[in-house]
Amino acid sequence: MSATPGQDTPDLHAIFGLNGDPAVRLAEPEEEEGAAPAEQGAAPEMRVASQDGRVGSPDGHLAPPDLRLGAPEVQVAEVQVAPPEVPPPAVDGQAGAGVGAAGRPGVTHPSRRGSSARFLTDVIVDMGLTTREQADEAIESARNTGTTPERALLEKGMLTSDGLSRALAERYGLDHLDLNVFGVDMGAANLVGTSAARRYQAVPVAFIDKRTLLVAMSDPSNVLAVDDVAIMTGYDVRVAVAASEDIAALISRLDRLEDVVSEGDPSAGEEPFDAQRADVVDLHENADDAPVIKLVNQIVAQAVEQQASDVHLAPEGGETRVRFRIDGVLQDVTTVTRRMAPGVVSRIKIMANLNIAEKRLPQDGRVGLTVDGRHVDLRVVTLPSVHGETVVMRILDKDSVVMSLQKLGMADHERDRFEKAFNEAYGAVLVTGPTGSGKSTTLYAALQELNRPEKNIITVEDPVEYQIEGLTQVQVASKVGLTFAAGLRAMVRADPDVLMVGEIRDHETAQIAVESALTGHLVLSTLHTNDAPTAITRLVEMGIEPFLVASALHCVVAQRLVRTLCSTCKQRTIISAEVMRQSGYKAVVDLEAYEPVGCGRCAGSGYKGRAGIYEVMMISPEIRTLALERRPADEIRDVAIRQGMRRLRDDGLDKVRAGRTSIAEEMRVLGTT
Ligand SMILES: [Zn+2]
């Protein structure tokens, strides 16, 4: 039985194992302090177990999986063994982390489950954390000074607190968590107040399942703490060991996250155009709501910290699932308990000035916040779904820095063409792509370059994503009639040199934009098309005369965002010509490139950050003629390619070869077209 892998167990069970509530087993006092050099020989067991790479835990199995629940015995999940070379001491925070196939980064499993009747000092020596001599010396001095040998080792600087925590985990057969790497679930952490967490040196860090919390502790033998955390949270507790320094750091981070969010926007008064900004609500109005407010603040603070673009809260069986969109991909973050869920949704609605009582109609609003000194705007949308209200918050971090085109990943060839276009005195320059392809970021980069005192630059945006000094930025406010078209019309009268229109999505806006481009203004805008050539046909479809399109348009940039490979863990690979052909490339030879792996730095995804891939089409006389003749986009594209346009897929492949992204990511974003 000891080697039965639990095939069907859900993720976290597979990762953390199911056997034994450590708290119960640890209740029996162990005389680890005693000096007993005679016990040295106990080590081999561990080494032997490591040989086959998979180990059950003979004694651990006998304990019911969860004594607190009195649950029936559960089959043991697969237990991944730490690498045969037992993890080295502190130096590298990633040692042994995420070794398990689908393992969470930062988790190191013990070589065997369940408490072993061994002296902690023996474990420390076996793990190579100190020498036998150092341990013996510490045992001797501890006996004389009334402390424990491991404390003596710590005090003499022979052992780090990380090393000690790894030894404790091994000694008690518990998982070790490297909290520098392990992605802490703030929803779980929030279940215990920071003062209690500090008192017990224990913080819940993840939900293992609907009724079990994973709790990181520096001293797993603190039974009282385990009981109190269980009572306090209403969850069963599974204990894992983490270094006391890391737990202290986590607790102060929790403290900080509670404080960083303050509502209201200090600069609101300076923005007369920003008619839609929500009124400020007092955060600390009602003590009864405090935990809910705290939780909402933490979710928002965490989202900003992780540079999420959106926060999704979706009801699911009475609970609410929280996901962040990071680098364009949704990721599970936490689950809000049944108890807190309604309050959290109401809280967010109050913040965004929405009607709490109205749950059957979609609503949208916004709120300005300061998170850790950064000015952040939240656009809140609620949608009634069959399971209850879904809430989506879009995060606009107005203090984030506008990036240069080079930093965005625009290669020299594309950049030269684009810069030439937007440095002309008049004409329209459009950036196209689907939602979330980074179009406005590219426009901001261009505006940044154009931003000189002698130029009058006015923008009308929905919403204003970045605030740039020297620009006049107008926020669309449809409710009071300030649409893109209305804003644009007003802008033209304000003697601008450069006009930026957030998006052309209707005939009226398109018409004014084109006319402005033809009357001596540089007009920058975005359009929703998949590639550059289609922009011409799209404008004509919107009802703009082909001759106007042909003469106004100077340049079209199409773009996408690809996730860039995590430079810490990416791995060299060879993509066969066969795979290249399947991906739509006319390849005859293999391609050397990189593929994602996943490590602590990238939360296991293998990717970190994003870069743009671009195609830049200059409107040549020949293309102008095709536009006038209403020729299809295909024909325009062929001519553009002949005249030097590199297509999105060409730029994408360049970035694959350069190791910036993977072929899989390029395919995900571009498809096989
Ligand atoms: Zn990585």
Residue range 539-588, pLDDT digits in tens: 999 999 999 999 999 999 999 999 999 888 888 888 888 888 887 787 77
Reply yes or no on whether the pLDDT at 98 is more than 80.
Answer: no
Reply yes or no on whether the pLDDT at 123 is more than 50.
Answer: yes
Instruction: For residue 406, give both structure tokens.
Output: 């080079």
Check residue 562 and give its pLDDT.
94
Reply yes or no on whether the pLDDT at 536 is more than 90.
Answer: yes
Whether 394 and 290 have beta carbons less than 8 Å apart is answered as no
Single-letter amino acid code for the residue at 79: V
77 or 126, which is more confident: 126
Check residue 410 and give its pLDDT.
93
What would the mean pLDDT of 332-355 be, rounded to a whole number?
Answer: 87
Reply yes or no on whether the pLDDT at 651 is more than 70.
Answer: yes
Whether 445 and 404 have beta carbons less than 8 Å apart is answered as yes
Whether 182 and 108 have beta carbons less than 8 Å apart is answered as no
Other CB atoms within a 10 A radius of the CB of residue 28 amount to 9
Label residue 336 by pLDDT band (50, 70, 90): confident
What's the CA dihedral at 452, 453, 457, 459 to 10 degrees?
90
Reply yes or no on whether the pLDDT at 147 is more than 90.
Answer: no
Residue 252 and residue 280: Cα distance in Å, rounded? 28
Whether 178 and 246 have beta carbons less than 8 Å apart is answered as yes
Check residue 399 and give its pLDDT.
66
Max avg pLDDT among 67-81, 371-385, 652-666: 652-666
Please report, for residues 114, 334, 606, 649, 668, the alpha-carbon distance to residue 665 in angstroms, rounded to integers and kept in the order given. 42, 26, 11, 12, 5
Reply yes or no on whether the pLDDT at 53 is more than 70.
Answer: no
Distance from the alpha carbon of residue 566 to the mean position of ligand 1, in angstroms: 4
Distance from the alpha carbon of residue 105 to the mean position of ligand 1, in angstroms: 10
Please report, for residues 283, 413, 468, 646, the alpha-carbon distance to residue 650 in angstroms, rounded to integers and kept in the order given. 51, 12, 33, 6
568 or 44, which is more confident: 568
187 or 70, which is more confident: 187
Distance from the alpha carbon of residue 181 to the mean position of ligand 1, in angstroms: 11
Residue 150 and residue 156: Cα distance in Å, rounded? 10
Distance from the alpha carbon of residue 108 to the mean position of ligand 1, in angstroms: 17
- The proportion of the chain whose per-residue pLDDT surpasses 70, expressed as a percent, equals 79
DSSP state of 17: -
Residue 372 and residue 451: Cα distance in Å, rounded? 28
Check residue 37 and give its pLDDT.
40
Check residue 10 and give its pLDDT.
37
401 or 591, which is more confident: 591
Check residue 219 and give its pLDDT.
86
CA neighbours closer than 13 Å in the CB half-sphere of residue 432: 25
Distance from the alpha carbon of residue 260 to the mean position of ligand 1, in angstroms: 28
Distance from the alpha carbon of residue 608 to the mean position of ligand 1, in angstroms: 7
Distance from the alpha carbon of residue 305 to the mean position of ligand 1, in angstroms: 18
Distance from the alpha carbon of residue 159 to the mean position of ligand 1, in angstroms: 28
Residue 2: exposed, middle, or buried by beta-carbon count in 10 A (0-12, 13-18, 19+)?
Answer: middle
635-645: pLDDT as tens digits:
999 999 999 99
Distance from the alpha carbon of residue 324 to the mean position of ligand 1, in angstroms: 19
The C-alpha angle with vertex 404 and arms to 477 and 637, in degrees rounded to 5, equals 80
Single-letter amino acid code for the residue at 181: V
Q: Which residue has the tokens 């039974």?
A: 223
Whether 141 and 135 have beta carbons less than 8 Å apart is answered as no
Q: Which residues of 638-654 are buried (b: 16+ CB within 10 A; e: fewer)?
A: ebbeeeebbbbbebbbb
Reply yes or no on whether the pLDDT at 517 is more than 80.
Answer: yes
Length of the chain: 673
Check residue 381 and give its pLDDT.
92
Distance from the alpha carbon of residue 564 to the mean position of ligand 1, in angstroms: 10
Name 375's bridge partners.
Answer: 370
Check residue 560 and give its pLDDT.
95
Q: Which long-range contacts (CB under 8 A, 24 or more apart) does 394-398 make?
A: 394/309, 394/310, 395/300, 395/303, 395/304, 395/308, 395/309, 395/310, 395/311, 396/463, 396/464, 396/465, 397/304, 397/307, 398/374, 398/464, 398/465, 398/466, 398/467
Check residue 398 and give its pLDDT.
67
Please report, for residues 562, 573, 574, 655, 658, the alpha-carbon distance to residue 593 in angstroms, rounded to integers and kept in the order given. 15, 5, 6, 9, 7
Reply yes or no on whether the pLDDT at 500 is more than 90.
Answer: yes
Distance from the alpha carbon of residue 194 to the mean position of ligand 1, in angstroms: 30
29 or 494, which is more confident: 494
423-477: pLDDT as tens digits:
999 999 999 999 889 898 999 999 999 998 888 999 998 888 777 888 888 888 8
Max avg pLDDT among 190-199, 303-312, 366-375, 410-419: 410-419
Check residue 78 and give its pLDDT.
34
89-93, 201-205, 364-368, 539-543: the lowest-pLDDT one: 89-93
253-262, 299-308, 363-372: the lowest-pLDDT one: 253-262
Distance from the alpha carbon of residue 464 to the mean position of ligand 1, in angstroms: 33
593-627: pLDDT as tens digits:
899 998 777 777 889 888 999 999 999 999 999 99
Check residue 289 and give its pLDDT.
57
Reply yes or no on whether the pLDDT at 340 is more than 90.
Answer: no
Distance from the alpha carbon of residue 180 to the mean position of ligand 1, in angstroms: 14
Label residue 11 by pLDDT band (50, 70, 90): very low
Distance from the alpha carbon of residue 405 to the mean position of ligand 1, in angstroms: 25
Please report, for residues 140, 462, 465, the alpha-carbon distance to residue 405 in angstroms, rounded to integers and kept in the order given. 64, 22, 17
Distance from the alpha carbon of residue 215 to the mean position of ligand 1, in angstroms: 25
Instruction: For residue 443, give both structure tokens.
Output: 């426009």
What would the mean pLDDT of 80-100 be, rounded to a whole number?
Answer: 34
Mean pLDDT (the chain) is 78
Whether 613 and 642 have beta carbons less than 8 Å apart is answered as no
Distance from the alpha carbon of residue 302 to the mean position of ligand 1, in angstroms: 20
Q: Which residue has the tokens 């910290």?
A: 305
What would the mean pLDDT of 85-105 be, rounded to a whole number?
Answer: 39
Reply yes or no on whether the pLDDT at 321 is more than 60.
Answer: yes
Instruction: For residue 184, give both structure tokens.
Output: 């802490």
Label residue 259 by pLDDT band (50, 70, 90): low
Reply yes or no on whether the pLDDT at 658 is more than 80.
Answer: yes
Single-letter amino acid code for the residue at 374: R
SS3 274: coil
Distance from the alpha carbon of residue 60 to the mean position of ligand 1, in angstroms: 34
Instruction: For residue 58, give both structure tokens.
Output: 């003979």
Distance from the alpha carbon of residue 562 to the mean position of ligand 1, in angstroms: 16
217-232: pLDDT as tens digits:
998 877 778 888 888 8
Residue 56 and residue 4: Cα distance in Å, rounded? 7
SS3 402: coil
Check residue 621 and give its pLDDT.
96
Distance from the alpha carbon of residue 589 to the mean position of ligand 1, in angstroms: 28
